[in-house]
Amino acid sequence: KAGVTQTPRYLIKTRGQQVTLSCSPISGHRSVSWYQQTPGQGLQFLFEYFSETQRNKGNFPGRFSGRQFSNSRSEMNVSTLELGDSALYLCASSNVHLGAEETQYFGPGTRLLVL
C-alpha cells in the first residue's frame, strides 16, 4: 500500500503570496489532518477533515484553510503569507474502525520558506 504523499516537497514564496499544499492519504483512509512544525513552536494542529467535512480546527488565523475532496485527497491553503509561516507542513491520514480512531500515518511533509 502506498503511503501518504505530499506535494510539493519544497516551496519558496515571498511575503503576501498565497500557497496551496496537497496531500494524498493512504487508500481507504477518510481522515486527513494537517500540522505545522517549527523549531520554536514544535508540532501544532491545523485542522482535520473527515469525509469532506472539517471535523476539528486548531488555533490558527483564517489565512489558513483547507478542504477535502470526495477521494479523500486534501489541500491546505495559506493566503497572504508571512515570514512566520515558514515551516514544515505535515499531513497525516488514518482510518476509523468500529468507531475508534486508528494509527495516524504521516507524509514526508512540505517545507515552505517565506522570504
Partner 1 sequence: KQEVTQIPAALSVPEGENLVLNCSFTDSAIYNLQWFRQDPGKGLTSLLLIQSSQREQTSGRLNASLDKSSGRSTLYIAASQPGDSATYLCAVSFTGNQFYFGTGTSLTVIP
Say whether residue 98 binds partner 1 (CB under 8 A).
no
* CB neighbour list of residue 91: distance below 8 Å, 6 or more residues apart: 4, 6, 21, 23, 25, 32, 33, 34, 35, 74, 76, 106, 107, 109
Residues of this chain, 54-83, that bind partner 1 according to CB under 8 A: 55-56, 58
Contact 84, 15 (CB under 8 A): no
Residues of this chain, 20-59, that bind partner 1 according to CB under 8 A: 31, 33, 35, 42-45, 48, 50, 55-56, 58
List helix spans (H) across the chain: none
Q: Which of 24, 87, 109, 114 binds partner 1 (CB under 8 A)?
A: 109
Kindly list the residues in this chain that would bind partner 1 in the complex (CB under 8 A). Answer: 4, 31, 33, 35, 42-45, 48, 50, 55-56, 58, 90, 92, 94, 100-109
